[in-house]
Amino acid sequence: MNEKNWDELTMRIDDMYTIDVRNKFSEKLPDNPKFSRTIERIEFEKDNTKYRIDNVESPTILDKKTIYHHRGAANHVEYIYDPEETSKKVIFYRQMPDGYWNEITPEEMLSD
């Protein structure tokens, strides 16, 4: 999602439901701390249910290496990142009654 589409989405949500939280922050990638990702986050309430949408920009993954244990089971995965190119994705969440955020599809958010 490009910047213009993100701005349109956030304006539409703010008009319909009012955005309660809006912030932007960076965090190191857990598997490679020399790279970081930027997350722009909004939270709002719709029909007494809280929703969160993250617009995540992170380094593009060039390759994935699966490291195997000596018995043949996968031990962990290492990602090779492009130091210059980034990719963006938008992730939708719904807050559950226990307070945890579960990832949902955009269709699930619209159907509720």
CA atoms of 38 and 24, how far apart (whole Å): 7
Compute the residue count for the chain: 112
pTM, 2 dp: 0.84
Q: How confident is the model over 18-61, as pLDDT tens digits? A: 999 999 999 999 888 999 999 999 999 998 999 999 999 999 99
Please identify which residue in the block is written with the tokens 């999602």. 1
Residue 71 predicted with pLDDT over 90: no
